[in-house]
């Protein structure tokens, strides 16, 4: 069972015309928002910008300062709020990929297809509980790039990946959801004649980035 302290730090986010998922991370006594870098592509990755975050069921505009991962390291944006706002972590949460084993079940959280408006909350007036999906920790392309076996949907981008550490017996956040690997398939008619049309299928392979990339970005001056 994903603990409540993790469910409560997951937020729906809007960046320009794009939307996705974000979550809180506390480092050096500061609160940061973590999400996916590709949400900022149409805005050309600005250093300072305005975003919208769903807080207590209402979309709130925030001015944030942003840092972005290099493409070779993955797909992460670290946002530091400039607008004064209460974004509190109720308990300490571990952010580390250490202790995660290949083949282990992991869980990713988010708000696909604008479900943020209809999901229930843990308490009246609080943020909605994100949708939780299961995946398998299947492989890594590099020390920072993760592959999961599962079905990712539009809107999960930027959401946290959670895993249970069997050594510490605690839940921890190990990474950030990025995208899924497309399975491009040709369209045929009823006579099995190709129509020169193609559809993007979901291969079931999820691309994600290690949370260590976010921690490194925060430490950079």
pLDDT tens-place string over residues 136-179: 999 999 999 999 999 999 999 999 999 999 999 999 999 999 98
Q: What is the CATH number of the domain that holds 90?
A: 2.40.10.120
Q: Say what percent of the chain tops pLDDT 70.
A: 96
Average pLDDT score over residue span 172-187: 85
Task: Answer whether 0.85 is exceeded by the pTM.
Answer: yes
As for how many domains the chain has, the answer is: 1
CA distances from 137 to 31, 104, 174, 179, 194 (A): 28, 5, 11, 15, 36
Q: Which two tokens stand for residue 74?
A: 């993955």
Instruction: Give the domain extent around 82.
Output: 4-219
- Mark 78-92 as b/e (b = at least 16 C-beta within 10 Å): bbebeeeeeeeeeee
74-78, 88-92, 182-186 — which one is most confidently predicted on average?
Answer: 74-78
The first and second tokens of residue 164, run together, are 């249970």
């Amino acid at each position: 069972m994903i603990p409540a302290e993790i469910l409560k730090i997951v937020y729906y986010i809007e960046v320009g015309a794009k939307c996705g998922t974000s979550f809180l991370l506390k480092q050096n006594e500061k609160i940061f928002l973590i999400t996916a870098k590709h949400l900022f592509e149409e805005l050309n990755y600005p250093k300072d910008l305005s975003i919208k975050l769903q807080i207590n069921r209402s979309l709130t505009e925030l001015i944030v300062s942003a840092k972005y991962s290099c493409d070779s390291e993955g797909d992460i944006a670290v946002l530091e709020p400039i607008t004064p706002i209460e974004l509190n972590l109720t308990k300490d949460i571990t952010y580390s990929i250490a202790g995660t084993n290949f083949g282990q079940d992991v869980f990713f959280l988010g708000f696909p297809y604008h479900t943020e408006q209809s999901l229930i909350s843990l308490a009246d007036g609080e943020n909605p509980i994100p949708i939780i999906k299961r995946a398998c920790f299947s492989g890594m392309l590099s020390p920072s790039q993760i592959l999961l076996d599962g079905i990712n949907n539009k809107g999960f981008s930027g959401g946290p990946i959670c895993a249970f550490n069997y050594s510490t017996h605690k839940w921890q956040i190990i990474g950030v959801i990025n995208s899924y690997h497309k399975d491009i398939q040709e369209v045929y008619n009823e006579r099995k004649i190709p129509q020169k049309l193609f559809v993007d299928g979901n291969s079931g392979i999820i691309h994600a980035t290690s949370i260590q990339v976010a921690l490194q970005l925060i430490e950079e001056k």
